[in-house]
Structure 1
């Protein structure tokens, strides 16, 4: 009688060990990955610098009313104090490259005296802040907070990649019911 129960007991023990392994093995693998940095990428996600210490757009020392915040869009702001025509054209092309997501982004040119390109808002610095560098580029969220900051040497493709990523992980807000009824 004990000889017939031995295979059942072994089978139950094997099941128990397999169940423990199913739950313990992923934790062991994760611990090894974290401890020895195996399989964890060292690269950064964003090309720009995170800028949580910069003031929001409403606090920037720019002349005139700031209409960029009224749109509720993401904002691509850039300092246009030198080589303005080239910079304005470059960021206009980045804006166009967004395709169907382009209406979710507004461009704000700060400085420069060249003609305004389509879809561009223009303002001037009333005083130059100490955190501003000529030719610098910023991506701001719909509330006007600086998300990423770029130096003048940034590649336009890197900014485009970052804007596309931000728009993808922050989907467009659903239309409010009140607005939908008002449109009918």
Structure 2
């Protein structure tokens, strides 16, 4: 009787071993086939706009210079400027130790700049400009992401933190 159990036990062990290696493949196939448990394809909350001109081509009253390693939060401040300036200043501070890698550029608006902020004016208002819009500009001067005036600052913070972690300091 002991001999007849041994082949069964060996077959069960073999089937269990096959199941252990096959189960992840079956689960992955099911996830892809029925779109269950797959993360959202989009990771950025902002909008990508490849046709957006580089910062050097923006119609501003003066040229903007920022460090080669600096990211830039550029925002249009033609409406509700005091609230927007404070909102983006708070976001900048929320970056913590990564804050020195980011600068802020206020385009338009009246009043004194907040600490760490540069202020310029539109020489002429471009077609792609909308009041309160925010752009994240990379160190090469390209607008990477754009946000509407109604964006949740936490979404912008998530995106900026992700960009900074994916692009470490040189």
TM class, shorter-length: 0.7 to 0.9
Q: Could you tell which deviates more after superposition, 95-104 or 160-169? A: 160-169
Q: TM-score of the superposition, structure 1-length normalised? A: 0.77
1:52 corresponds to = 50
Equivalent-residue separation in structure 2 for 1:11 and 1:147 (angstroms) = 60
Aligned position for 1:106: 103
Between stretches 157-166 and 75-84, larger displacement belongs to 157-166
Match of residue 25, structure 2, among 24, 27, 30:
27
Higher helix share: 1
| Mapped contact 2:30–2:36 kept (Cα < 8 A) | yes
The alpha carbon displacement at 1:56 in A equals 1.7
**Matched length:** 170
- Once the 2 structures are TM-superposed, how far is the Cα of residue 80 of structure 1 from its aligned partner? 0.6
Runs of 4 or more above 6 Å deviation: 7-19
Cα offset, 1:144, TM superposition: 1.5
The 5 A counterparts of 1:128-167 are 128-167=125-164
Match of 1:116 among 105, 113, 118: 113
Once the two structures are TM-superposed, the CA of residue 110 in structure 1 deviates from its matched residue by: 0.7
CA RMSD of aligned residues (A): 2.6
Q: 1: distance between equivalents of 2:47 and 2:33?
A: 27
In the superposition, the TM-score normalised over structure 2's length comes to 0.83
